[in-house]
Structure 1
Amino acid sequence: MTDLARALQEPWPDLRLQREGVGLGMWFFLTSEVLFFAALFCSYAVYRSFNAEAFHIAAAHTKIVYGSINTALLLTSSLTMTIALRAAAAELRRPTLLCLLATAALGIAFLICKGLEYRSDLAEHLVPGAGFPLTPPATQIFWGLYWIMTGIHALHLTAGIAIVLVVTTLFRRQIIPVQGSTMEGVAIYWHFVDSVWLVLYPLIYLAGRS
């Protein structure tokens, strides 16, 4: 059985329709995710409109160095994922595997950097509740949203890393071919997670430095 034949799954009659189906399914899934994050972003916008000065003060205490490093890591991971997708389309198995591993490694580096940032935030007691060091009290709203939004993004990224590693293993063992629709679905999800961070970065790290 050829790789193309193995790539075709039931109930699709041909690979073109299968790719379109996978793409459409992923976009439906991501639409629900977009609505979820949009609700968080709207909450941020509403609270900031009523507490502009407090948000400015709170955001000034975020660690922009960590945020900038993580932005660079995710932008680079988007590049390696794009190269992996192109390599898979050209049926270049080894470059596809290498770029997928590089993408997962960059994602793990992001989580490590985020963990270091969280440790620094905890050391400064920047968690809403008793002993919160900033004033006015509305600064706690910003930090509450910070922990919620970045935490949810980190969970999505963790899921993305796991998916990339599983798919890489399946490709390496030739259980599924690299030129199938699986690669396209993985790439769509990864780029979505990266795009969410590109919205979070200015909201969290630049808001207090404008």
Structure 2
Amino acid sequence: MSIAVAHGHDADLIGLEAEHPGPAPKRIVTGYGFWIFLLSDMVMFSCFFAAYAVLLGQTAGGPTGAQLFNLRNVAVETACLLFSSFACGMASIAAEERNYLWFQIAMAVTCLLGLAFLTIEFREFADLVARGAGPSRSAFLSAFFTLVGCHGGHVSAGILWLLTMMAQVSAKGFRADIRRRFLCFALFWHALDIIWVAVFSVVYLLGSAA
């Protein structure tokens, strides 16, 4: 009888262990927590998109998107960011394989394409301001500069983060904590790519049509 009770007790313990296998690995916890941050960022951009949609026609007699936007330059911007996301994916593969050389090359390409994107965006903003179409000209332009400028600020922060990751891998190698940080960076960079596709579609394409 006591043996049967002992076996039953052991079975209960095994069942409890199956239901509660213990804490998740740090990589999963880190990724999950960073996804929560990204979702909060998406909520913020959603508010900016909503404000832009409401204020799209509020030009106060000033120029509209169709008169201001240069879709050729925007297409080049989009290509730079899309290819930078691809290069970031290559860096992720190199990090998994612990390939230092290809990791640094892929990250350098990501950085250069990100800088090219920012350069084109900065020149666009400077040109608009020089033409008297700054953020204070109308509610439409205020919403435009806020939405697109906020994304550009995120890209700038991403490039600083990218350079930090390159330096950390160069100094400390592919340690577990550094790989977790790189996972968060890759999620952040790809999220910026997705947001830009929405900006390109909603702000530039629909804005030009309007």
Fold-level similarity (TM above 0.5): yes
Bin for the TM-score computed over the shorter chain: 0.7 to 0.9
What 5-or-longer segments of structure 1 have no aligned partner?
1-12, 133-139
Match of 1:170 among 163, 168, 171: 168
- Separation in 1, partners of 2:37, 2:88: 20
The alpha carbon displacement at 1:177 in A equals 3.0
Larger radius of gyration: 2
Alignment deviations for residues 147-196 of structure 1 (CA, whole Å, 9 cap, x no partner): 11111111111110000000101101125538722221110011111111
- 2:8 aligned partner: none
- Separation in 2, partners of 1:39, 1:30: 14
Instruction: Tell me whether 1:21 sits opposite 2:29 in the alignment.
Output: yes
The TM-score, its normalising length taken from structure 2, stands at 0.80
Alignment deviations for residues 34-89 of structure 1 (CA, whole Å, 9 cap, x no partner): 111111112222334xx3998xx611121222211110000000000001001111
The TM-score, its normalising length taken from structure 1, stands at 0.80
Change (3 A) 1:19 1:209: same
- 1:156 aligned partner: 154
The one-letter code matched in structure 2 to 1:194 is D
Alignment deviations for residues 81-140 of structure 1 (CA, whole Å, 9 cap, x no partner): 0010011112212111111111111111111111111121112111254xx5xxxxxxx2
Match of 1:58 among 64, 85, 91: 64
- 1:199 aligned partner: 198
Equivalent pair of 1:104/1:164 in contact (CA under 8 Å): yes
- Separation in 1, partners of 2:193, 2:155: 8
- 1:89 aligned partner: 96
Instruction: Tell me whether 1:80 sits opposite 2:79 in the alignment.
Output: no
Change (3 A) 1:174 1:45: same
Aligned residues: 185
The structure with the greater share of residues assigned to helix is 2
**What's the % identity of the aligned pairs?**
26
Which segments of structure 1 move beyond 4 Å, counting only runs of 4 or more?
none
Instruction: Tell me whether 1:47 sits opposite 2:55 in the alignment.
Output: yes
- Separation in 2, partners of 1:143, 1:207: 15
Greater relative contact order (Cα < 8 A, sep 6+):
1
- 1:5 aligned partner: none
RMSD: 2.4
The one-letter code matched in structure 2 to 1:182 is R
- Separation in 2, partners of 1:21, 1:83: 23
Alignment deviations for residues 4-54 of structure 1 (CA, whole Å, 9 cap, x no partner): xxxxxxxxx99x712101111110111110111111112222334xx3998
